[in-house]
Amino acid sequence: LGAGIVGWSVAVQLLDALPNCRLTVVADQLDGETVSWVAAGSFRIENFEELCPDRPGQGRKWAADSFQHYLDLAVSGQGSSAGCLLLPLVQVYEDSNQTPPDYLQLAHSVATLTPDQLRTEFPRWPSLQCGWSCETTLTESRLYLPFLRARCRCTNLTVTRHRVNSLSELLDGSSCRLLFNCSGLGAAQLAKDPNVYPIRGQVFKVRAPWLKRAVIGPNGETYIYPGATDIVTVGGCRQPNSWSTEPCPDDASKIWSRATRLVPSVGGAETVNQLAGLRPARLGGIRVELDSTDSRIVHCYGHGGNGVALAWGTASEAVKLGLESLRRGG
């Protein structure tokens, strides 16, 4: 249930494990309608433990599994068709006591920026105190989602556009053996989970082929991400509990002002589009577990702004839980 990057990651891994099973992907939003389509898709996770506070070490495992998957794709012959690439990245801070973000534990070629580098590379932001550079991965969803879907083409796969009002609607009177709930924000209603809430984001998509390095400003609010083509994502904002999916002119003005201060050459880019989307967040962290009342249901939602970064790792655990439930006769 769900056709974003989490849902399709589950579908691919389930079919790898059970190639002869009949699989139906049900969603009311497909492809470009999903929030995955808006995401820049970088692997950049600030704090692993916040991903799943009740299970120490689990967030790091999801992250490590996902990073390895994207890294393997990026260096393979499938990287260009999958939209996965290696990405030089710099993140800077105004706090001199800032600790390194957790994703640097997995990224390659990590280096600390010197004061001279900060002054030289970011002359319009003199309050910067520290920063790091590294090589990470970027996964462009508009290429990666079709890539995942194509991996399922030669199977017993059905894709159905349908708005589901309850999980029982898909289970009652059906032959369904497993239901993976990857419904994102829809889990608030479908799983009756009051901890699910949106975090609104807004970005520019601009044409700037000269930009080859991602740059993230203080607090992660400002970012510039080159993609698999000449299109660059420029953002952003984080607005909890805002449900608007329309670009806001005031937000756009603030985003552009910060971005051109951080990377002045962005100012010469051609704007292709402005987009807004809702990150499906959850108080208490990501939920990957069997339902407590029906062992046919596996929940996998609440990724917030880390849906692309963590989709593969969380889907791997969800599929493992589902297969174990099948073996137990769940």
297 pairs with which residues across the strands? 179
Distance CA 154, CA 165 (A): 30
Q: Which residues contact residue 33 at a Cβ distance below 8 angstroms, ignoring those fewer than 6 apart?
A: none
Which residues are documented as binding site for FAD? 164
Longest dimension (CA), the chain: 67
Distance CA 297, CA 305 (A): 24
How far lies 243's CA from each of 34, 162, 196, 197, 278, in Å? Answer: 14, 21, 13, 9, 7
Which residues are documented as binding site for D-dopa? 223, 279, 305
* Region for residue 176 given its phi and psi (left: phi exceeds 0; alpha: psi -120 to 50; beta: otherwise): beta
Which letter does DSSP use for residue 271 in this model? E
Which residues are documented as binding site? 164, 223, 279, 305
Amino acid letter at 96?
A: S
Helix (H) or strand (E) holding 61: helix 58-74
CB 118 within 8 A of CB 128: yes
Mode of pairing for the β-strands spanning 231-235 and 196-207: antiparallel
Distance CA 37, CA 272 (A): 15
Distance CA 151, CA 134 (A): 31
Which letter does DSSP use for residue 83 in this model? T
CB 155 within 8 A of CB 19: yes
Residue in 321, 279, 281, 314 with CA at minimum distance from that of residue 7: 314
Residue in 10, 41, 56 with CA at minimum distance from that of residue 178: 10
